[in-house]
Amino acid sequence: MAWALAVIVLLGIGLPIAAWRVSRHLGPRLQPVGGVGPPTDRVDKWLLEQHRLPALQRRQVRDAVISGRMMHDPALKHATRELAGTALRGELKLGRSIQIASYVLLAEGVGAIAGGVFAWVLTDIPVAVATILFGAWWLVRAMLALRTIQRGPRRAYQVNQ
């Protein structure tokens, strides 16, 4: 029993202290929030090469193009218009992860509706209607996200003149 208590104390107290002592000597691995930072993908690389924007502003420009919003800063407005133009010409792909997530949400919605209908028919319990409603909600959200992604670059190109 005493050896178990010693192991618990050693792991519970000694391990965090050892990790803290080791980590004190390590330098910071992340750059400050306002820094330029390395590009994460082709769109980031393009924004960095063309406009030398910091990481936070690159993210703002990308989000504005995907959602079709207007930027108020003139430098960001110009970058947003150019990025939207390249996306419309098909030179760069935007919103790939959002598009994949929307398709997954679409599939989950169809599965939830099918499961709810199956449960309702099989068990005749009206509680399965909630599953059908959740599935319908997921379908609506997925369709709205896909529509926003498709219309975003065109709208961003129009409103950022």
Q: What pLDDT tens digit does each residue of the chain (161 aa) get? A: 788 888 787 788 888 888 888 877 776 555 555 567 777 788 988 998 899 888 889 999 999 999 999 999 988 999 999 999 999 998 988 888 888 999 999 999 999 999 999 988 888 787 788 999 999 999 999 999 999 888 999 999 999 88
* For the chain, domain boundaries: 96-150
Q: Which long-range contacts (CB under 8 A, 24 or more apart) does 30-33 make?
A: 31/55
Look up residue 35 and give its two tokens. Answer: 């820094």
C-alpha distances in Å from residue 50, one per residue of 42, 128, 143, 145? 12, 53, 33, 28
| Distance separating alpha carbons of residues 89 and 51, to the nearest angstrom | 19
Torsion over CA: 39, 44, 49, 53 (sign): negative
Number of other residues whose CB lies within 10 A of the CB of residue 66? 22
